[in-house]
Chains A and B, each alone.
Chain A
Amino acid sequence: MPLLSEEQVIGAAHRIEVGMRRDLPDPAGAGVRARLAEDMGIHVKDVRVIDVYTIHANLNDDELERVRAELFTDPVIQESSIDAPLANDYDYVIEVGFRPGVTDNVGKSSAEGIADTLGRALAPGEAVYKSTQYVVKGNVDETICESIARDLLANVLIQRWVVKSAKEMQDANGASLLGLPIVTERSTIEVATVSLDLAEPELLALSRDKMLALDLNELKAIQGYYRDPAVAKRRAAAGLPAQPTDIELEILAQTWSEHCKHKIFNATIEFVDETGKTRTIDSLFKSYVKATTDEAGKRVDWLVSVFHDNAGIIRFDEHWNFALKAETHNSPSALDPYGGAITGIVGVNRDVLGAGLGCRCILNTDVFCFASPYHEGEIPPRLMHPRRVLRGVHQGVKDGGNQSGIPDVNGAIVFHERFLGKPLVFCGTGGLIPAKVAGRPSHEKAARPGDRIVMCGGRIGKDGIHGATFSSEELHEGSPATAVQIGDAITQKKMADCLIEARDLGLFTCITDNGAGGLSSSIGEMARVPGGAEVHLDLAPLKYPGLAPWEIFLSEAQERMTLAVPPEHVDAFMDLARRREVEATVVGTFTDSGRLECYYQGDLVGALDMDFLHDGVPKMHLKAVWRKPELQPEVLVEDHRLITDLKAVLGSLNVCSKESFVRMYDHEVLAQSVLKQFQGIDHDGPGDAGVIRPVPGSNRGIAISCGIAPKYSDIDTYWMMACSIDEAVRNLVAVGAQLGTIAGLDNFCWPDPVQSEKTPDGEFKLAQLVRCCEALYDVCTAYDIPLISGKDSMKNDYKIGDTKISIPPTVLFTAAAILEDVRKVISMDVKTPGDVVYVVGETRNELGGSEYLALRGQLGTNVPKVDAPSARRMYVSLHAAIAQGLVASCHDCSDGGLGVALAESAFAGGFGMQIDLNRMNVKSDIIALFSESQSRFAVTVPSRHAAAFESALVGHPFTRLGLVIPEELFRLKGRNGFDGEVSLSELKEAWQRPLRW
C-alpha cells in the first residue's frame, strides 16, 4: 500500500499513557488473558492494558498536564503519565495502533475533548492518535508476542504493532513506539486518459489490473460508446479527450458492478430442467421477485414504496410508515471482521435513514453465518479462524448498534463448514417516518434541477475505494486492503439526529446514503430524476490531501449522506448543520443537462450521458442446467437413545443458546420492546420473533423474524428457500401475527453462478438459483407476502491457489408483520402445570439436512418440504386460536425438530412436560422427535381451553402429546416401551454450554 509511511514524525508529539491503578483489577487485561488461553492456548501470568494517546499538537507543559488530568485520566481508578512509560513489572509490551489513514474514532473524540478542555480547537494538521499497549508477564518470548499481536490483538490490514522486551523498553526510555500514522503521500494529482483502443485480451487485462470487474461485453459496450461519432463530437466540444478519463471509467465500472446493477438477477437465462426441457427466463428479478410483489400486493393494501428506494416502505398506521431493509457485508468482514461488521450495521442504518425523506432507525436485526468456532483444520491463506471472525463480527455489530442507540430485536447465528470461505454478515434495520413530512408525503422524493448537492457527515479518504467492484469478485490474493473501513457510529448518530431535524423543517427534497460507490453512486442515482448533475470534486472535504478526483468520487468512506437542498434552504441547512457540529458541504448542483459532469479545480474531468450510465450495461445471457444431486439416502438406527440424542441436538451449534452474544446487544433502548429475544421465568428461553411497540401511547406493534436454512441447499435449493420463508412466517405466527400483514425481504448470498474457467459448475449453481427463486414466488404468493426490498451478493467464493471454497447457497428471509394489539402476543415459555401440550402441523419423515443427521455425519435426502396452501389454512386457524386467548405458549419447531422446541418451552417456563410420542402418527421416535418438518409448532393450552383449541384447529393436523407438569423434569415415552426422563436443568445446560462465551 503506497499510503503507508512509517516513522514520519512531523513536529512534536507527546504520549499520554493511562492504565488502571496497580492495586485495582484490570478487566480489559483479564479479558485478553482469558482469550489468550481460550483461543490460542497461551497461558500468561498477567496482562494489563494501557491506553496510549499520542498527541501530535503544539501543547505546552501546562496544557499537557491539564488534558492528562482532566480529560484522559479517571482520578478515582486510573494512573497516567506524560512521555514516560507506565508499564512496570513485565516481560514484554505489545503496542497496537492504526495504520495511516484508518479511521481512529477515539483519536477524533480525544481531539474534541482537548478542544473543550483548553477552550481552543487543535490547529489544522494537529491530531490525537490512539494506540493500545498490552503489558504481558510470564511465559512469553518475542515470537509468541508476535503471534499474539498478529492472531489476536491486531489486524495487519488496518493496524501496526511493535513488540518490545522490558530491556528494550528501558533502553528506549519513553520514546514513541510507533511512528505517527500520518498519510504523507503527496502524489501529483492528475487525471489520466485510458485508451480503450485495445484488442479483447488487453481489454480484459485492463479490467483486471484496474479492478474494474467488467466483463468483455461490458468493456466493448464502453468502447462502443466512445467510438460513437455523436459522443465523440460532444466530448471534443466539451474539451474532453476522445478516450475515457480515469474517472469516467471508474464511474462506469462501479455503476455497472454486479453489486450495484444486479446483472445476474437481470440476465436472460436459458434454463434446462431435469428432463432436458429448456425455457428462457427474462430476468429472475422481474420473473420471480417483482412478480411475487405484484401478485401478493394485489391482496394487501399497505404497500407504500417498494424496490425503488433504499428500503421498502409499508404503512404502520394512518400517521406513520415503516421502512425495512437488510444488507450483507461479507467480503469486508472476511478481511476485517470488526470493521466489516460495524460498517455493515451502520451502513444499513444509513439505507433506512436515506429511505423516503429520512426514517428514524428503530430496530436492527443481525444474522451471521460462520464455520464452526471449534474448527480444527488448516486455515487457508488470507482467511482467519472462524472463532476470530465470529468474535470480531459480533463486536462490530454490537458496537455499531449500541453506540447508535438502535435496539437489536432479532437475529441468528448459523454454522456450516463452507462458511470458512466467506462468512456471511446480514444486517437489517427498520425505521419509522411520519406519513407526512413538512406537509408532503414522506415517501416521495426527487431532486430538482437547481437543487444543490450537499454531502454531509464524515470526510473522504482512500478508505473503501473499490468496495463495489471488490464485492463483485471472489476473495483472492490481490483483494485490496483499502476495501476495509471502520465505522464511526457517533459521527453518524450526530448526522442522523441533525438530518431528522432538517427533514422536519422541510430543508431538503431528496436524500440518499453513500454506500458502495460513494458519491458517484449517490449522486448518479439522485441525478436520474432531474436528469443530470454537475459536481465539483475539489469542494469535497478530505481526511488528508492527495486524492485524485476519481478517488474522491468513488471513495466509500463512511458516515456520509447526500442531499438535494433547494437553493433557498441552503443557508438554513448549513446553519443547522453547524449548530449540530455536523460537517456539510455543497459539492455541486443537480441539472437537466442529461449528463453527469465532474469538475476538479474548474476543469471538466469527466462527463457521461445519464442514459448510457444507467441503461447502457449490456444484458447478460447465462445458461442454467438443473440436475438432481446424487446423494446418499439417510440410514436410521433405532437405538432408543432419545434422551442422549436430544441433549446432543440441543447442544449442536445451530441449535444451542446464543444468549451470551445477544445479551451484549442493547435490545431495549427506545423502550419499545414487548417480546425480547430471551423469554421465560429466567429470561433465557429463545423467543421466536421480536415484538416492538414503536409509537408511545399506541398498542400497535411490529413483529420481526427471520428464516435461514443453508443446510438444505445441497439437497435442493427450492426447499431451502421454501423452508427459510416458512421459518420466518411461523416465527411470526407463533407470537400471534396474522397472514396478510406480513412483508418480506429476500437477501441472497450465492457462490458465483456464472460458468467460467474458475467456476466450472456455474450452470448448476445458476440452476440452484433459479429453483430458489421459483420457491420464493410459490411460497410468498401462497402466504400473501409481498417482497418490499432485497439484495443479492453473488460472489461468495474463496479461491487462492488450488483451494476453492464456495458457500452453500443461502437466502436470509426477513419478515415483518404489523400487529393490531401487542397485548395479545404470546411467548414461547410454558406457563402453568396442567396445561395441555400439542404439536400442531404434520410430522413427516424429513430428516434430510437435519441437525440429528449432521451429528451422525450424514446429510440424507429427505429434505423438509413446505405444503404452503395447507400451511396457510392452518396458520389462519392457529392465529384465530391465539387471538381468542386460547393459547398459553407457542414455539416454532425448526432446527433440531420437535424435541428441541418442547425442551426449550419447558425449561424457559420452569415446568416439566410429560410427552408420549406414541400418539403421533409417525413410524419412528427419531422422526417424531428430530425430523425438521416445516409448518409445525409446540403449543401449550390451559386445560379449560383444550376443547375450544381443538375445535379451532379442526381439519388441521395436530396431536395432543401430554401435559405440563409441576416437576422440573422432561418425561418422554416412545415406541417399544421407551420411557425416559431428564431434568430441565440438564437439558438447559446442554443447550447453553457450547457457546457460553
Chain B
Amino acid sequence: MENSSIHALVLTGFGINCDNETASALTRAGAHADRVHLNDISADPSLLERYHILAVPGGFSYGDDVGSGRILANRLRYKLGDPLRKFVADGKLVVGICNGFQVLAKMGMLPMLSGDFIQEVTLTNNDSGRFEDRWVTLKVEPNTRCIWLKGIKQLELPVRHGEGKFIARDEAIMDQIENGGLVAVRYCRRDGELARGNFPENPNGAHHDIAGICDTTGRVFGLMPHPEAYVDRLNHPRWYREKLPEEGAGLQVFRNAIEYARENLCAASV
C-alpha cells in the first residue's frame, strides 16, 4: 500500500443502504474506498488496520427495530469494541452519517466523554413523529474540534430520517459538549441565523439545534444530514435556478478527512 493513498472502509450489511454513495463520495474526494460487510470484519478484525478512515453510512440497520441503530451499535460494541478503540487511539478517523450517527451515539462512541462505550447522548423520534426527507441548512460551530469541517462555515445538505432529535443524557453532558468544542454542526436558517428549534429549519426538534457532534479528538464525527448526498451541483434541490459551484459542499467534508489522514497518518505504517 502506497504511503500517499488513503484507504477508507465503508461498512455494509444488515440494512445499511448509503454505502454505495458514501464510497463514491470518498473516492471522488481522493480516497481509496472499499465497501466491507460487517461480518467480514467481525471474522477478521485485523482488516480494520489497513484503513485510515471508517465510515458508518446511513440506512435502516435492522429496520430501526428496537430503536434506530441500537442492534448494530450493540453488535459493533460486542464484536469490535477493542479494535475500534485502537482504531481511534491510532489517530484514525471515523464518521457516522444518519443511521451511522445513531449507531455511534448508541454504542457510546460519540461523544465518549467517559472514555468508555457508555451511551451519553441519543437520537430519537422527530418531534413531527414522522420520517422526512428535506434539505436543511447547517452552520458549522466556529470553535468546533471537528477536523472534518475545516474551512466550512455553512452548508446545505438533505436530512432523511425519522429519529434525528439530538438529546444529551443530562445537562452536565450537554455542557461538556457545548463547552468542549464538540458541537460540530447546528441547524440554521438560510440566512445563517440559528433555527432555535423551529420547524422545518430544525427538522426534528434537536436540542440546541444540534445536527452533528464530534469526540474530543475531533476525528470521530457523527451527523444526521447526508454529506455524501451533496457532492455535485446537480444533487442540490435548486441547481437549476441558482449559481452554484460544480462541486457540492458535502465533498469538502470527506476531503478534509483525507487531507488530515494524509498529513497525520501517512508516516504511520498502515
Q: Does A797 contact B (CB under 8 A)?
A: no
Q: Does B169 contact A (CB under 8 A)?
A: yes
Residues in A with CB closer than 8 Å to B111 are none
Among A27, A75, A489, A670: residue with most chain B CB under 10 A: A27
Q: Does B14 contact A (CB under 8 A)?
A: yes
Task: Mark interface residues in A62-106 (1 if CB within 8 Å of B CB, else 0).
Answer: 000000001110111100000000000000000000000000011
How far, in angstroms, from A665 to B132 measured CA to CA in the complex? 7
Q: Does A152 contact B (CB under 8 A)?
A: no
**Which chain B residues numbered 227 to 259 have a C-beta less than 8 Å away from chain A?**
228-231, 234-235, 237-238, 240-241
Q: Does B202 contact A (CB under 8 A)?
A: no
How far, in angstroms, from A909 to B242 measured CA to CA in the complex? 12
Residues in A with CB closer than 8 Å to B131 are 398, 402, 664, 666
Chain A: which residue is nearest B24 at the CB level? A696
Partner of A490, one of B63, B160, B228: B63
Residues in A with CB closer than 8 Å to B135 are 683
**Which chain B residues numbered 122 to 142 have a C-beta less than 8 Å away from chain A?**
122, 124-135
Q: Taking A494-B15, A670-B21 as contacts, is the C-beta distance between A72 and B60 under 8 angstroms?
A: no
Q: Taking A112-B71, A113-B70 as contacts, is the C-beta distance between A119 and B62 under 8 angstroms?
A: no
Chain B: which residue is nearest A408 at the CB level? B133
Q: Does A110 contact B (CB under 8 A)?
A: yes
Q: Does A117 contact B (CB under 8 A)?
A: yes
B237 near A679: Cβ-Cβ < 8 Å: yes
A72 near B63: Cβ-Cβ < 8 Å: no
Chain A: which residue is nearest B60 at the CB level? A403
**Which chain A residues numbered 808 to 836 have a C-beta less than 8 Å away from chain B?**
822-823, 825-827, 829, 831
| Interface footprint category on B | 35 or more
A109 near B65: Cβ-Cβ < 8 Å: yes
Task: Mark interface residues in A387-404 (1 if CB within 8 Å of B CB, else 0).
Answer: 000000000001000111
Q: Does A31 contact B (CB under 8 A)?
A: yes
**Which chain B residues numbered 110 to 165 have a C-beta less than 8 Å away from chain A?**
119-122, 124-135, 158, 160
Residues in A with CB closer than 8 Å to B122 are 74, 76-77
A477 vs chain B, min Cβ distance (A): 35
Among B128, B130, B231: residue with most chain A CB under 10 A: B130
B13 near A668: Cβ-Cβ < 8 Å: no
- Interface Cβ pair total, 8 Å cutoff: 173
Chain A: which residue is nearest B235 at the CB level? A671
How far, in angstroms, from A990 to B167 measured CA to CA in the complex? 37
**Which chain A residues numbered 657 to 716 have a C-beta less than 8 Å away from chain B?**
663-676, 679-681, 683, 693, 696
Residues in B with CB closer than 8 Å to A74 are 67, 70, 106, 119, 122, 124
18 contacts between A and B (CB under 8 A): A27-B127, A71-B71, A71-B74, A72-B66, A74-B70, A74-B122, A109-B71, A110-B66, A404-B17, A405-B60, A493-B15, A493-B60, A497-B13, A664-B130, A668-B235, A681-B238, A696-B28, A823-B234
Residues in A with CB closer than 8 Å to B134 are 663, 683
Task: Mark interface residues in B177-202 (1 if CB within 8 Å of A CB, else 0).
Answer: 00000000000000000000000000
B18 near A490: Cβ-Cβ < 8 Å: no
- The 7 lowest CB-CB distance pairs between A and B, nearest first, are A405-B17, A109-B65, A671-B21, A76-B122, A31-B129, A27-B129, A403-B60
How far, in angstroms, from A404 to B18 measured CA to CA in the complex? 10
How far, in angstroms, from A581 to B62 measured CA to CA in the complex? 13
How far, in angstroms, from A116 to B62 measured CA to CA in the complex? 13
5 further contact pairs, Cβ within 8 A, besides A668-B160, A681-B238, A826-B240: A30-B129, A109-B63, A405-B18, A664-B131, A671-B235
Q: Does A277 contact B (CB under 8 A)?
A: no
How far, in angstroms, from A672 to B231 measured CA to CA in the complex? 10
A402 near B60: Cβ-Cβ < 8 Å: yes
Q: Does A121 contact B (CB under 8 A)?
A: no
How far, in angstroms, from A920 to B62 measured CA to CA in the complex? 58
A116 near B240: Cβ-Cβ < 8 Å: no
Q: Does A758 contact B (CB under 8 A)?
A: no
B13 near A494: Cβ-Cβ < 8 Å: yes
A76 near B168: Cβ-Cβ < 8 Å: yes
How far, in angstroms, from A71 to B62 measured CA to CA in the complex? 13
Q: Does B12 contact A (CB under 8 A)?
A: yes
Q: Does B100 contact A (CB under 8 A)?
A: no
Q: Does B3 contact A (CB under 8 A)?
A: no
B240 vs chain A, min Cβ distance (A): 5
Partner of A670, one of B20, B37, B70: B20
Chain A: which residue is nearest B71 at the CB level? A113
Residues in A with CB closer than 8 Å to B212 are none
B-side interface mostly: mixed
How far, in angstroms, from A680 to B241 measured CA to CA in the complex? 8
Q: Taking A75-B169, A113-B70, A693-B234 as contacts, is the C-beta distance between A493 and B240 under 8 angstroms?
A: no
Q: Does A167 contact B (CB under 8 A)?
A: no
Binding site for A on B (CB under 8 A): 12-15, 17-18, 20-21, 24-25, 27-28, 37, 39-40, 43, 58-60, 62-67, 70-71, 74-75, 78-79, 106, 119-122, 124-135, 158, 160, 167-169, 226, 228-231, 234-235, 237-238, 240-241
B113 vs chain A, min Cβ distance (A): 13
B65 near A106: Cβ-Cβ < 8 Å: yes
A579 near B65: Cβ-Cβ < 8 Å: no
B179 vs chain A, min Cβ distance (A): 19
B169 near A76: Cβ-Cβ < 8 Å: yes
Partner of A28, one of B13, B37, B66, B125: B125
A36 vs chain B, min Cβ distance (A): 14
B133 near A665: Cβ-Cβ < 8 Å: yes
B74 near A77: Cβ-Cβ < 8 Å: no
A117 near B43: Cβ-Cβ < 8 Å: no
Q: Does A580 contact B (CB under 8 A)?
A: yes
How far, in angstroms, from A184 to B23 measured CA to CA in the complex? 47
Residues in B with CB closer than 8 Å to A663 are 132-134
B74 near A109: Cβ-Cβ < 8 Å: no
Partner of A676, one of B21, B62, B125, B237: B237
Residues in A with CB closer than 8 Å to B231 are 671
How far, in angstroms, from A581 to B71 measured CA to CA in the complex? 15
**Which chain A residues numbered 829 to 876 have a C-beta less than 8 Å away from chain B?**
829, 831
Residues in B with CB closer than 8 Å to A70 are 74
A117 near B78: Cβ-Cβ < 8 Å: yes
Residues in B with CB closer than 8 Å to A822 are 234
How far, in angstroms, from A675 to B74 measured CA to CA in the complex? 38
Residues in B with CB closer than 8 Å to A24 are 167
How far, in angstroms, from A214 to B122 measured CA to CA in the complex? 57
B74 near A113: Cβ-Cβ < 8 Å: yes
How far, in angstroms, from A404 to B61 measured CA to CA in the complex? 10
B160 near A831: Cβ-Cβ < 8 Å: no
B62 near A827: Cβ-Cβ < 8 Å: no
Task: Mark interface residues in A176-205 (1 if CB within 8 Å of B CB, else 0).
Answer: 000000000000000000000000000000
**Which chain A residues numbered 579 to 608 have a C-beta less than 8 Å away from chain B?**
579-581
A489 near B60: Cβ-Cβ < 8 Å: yes
Chain A: which residue is nearest B168 at the CB level? A76
Among B12, B121, B124: residue with most chain A CB under 10 A: B124
Partner of A827, one of B66, B133, B226, B241: B241
Chain B: which residue is nearest A407 at the CB level? B133
Residues in B with CB closer than 8 Å to A488 are 63
Residues in B with CB closer than 8 Å to A667 are 133
B66 near A75: Cβ-Cβ < 8 Å: no
Residues in A with CB closer than 8 Å to B241 are 680-681, 827, 829, 831, 909
Partner of A117, one of B37, B74, B124: B74
Q: Taking A402-B131, A497-B12, A666-B133 as contacts, is the C-beta distance between A116 and B63 under 8 angstroms?
A: no
Partner of B66, one of A30, A113, A693, A825: A113
A833 vs chain B, min Cβ distance (A): 13
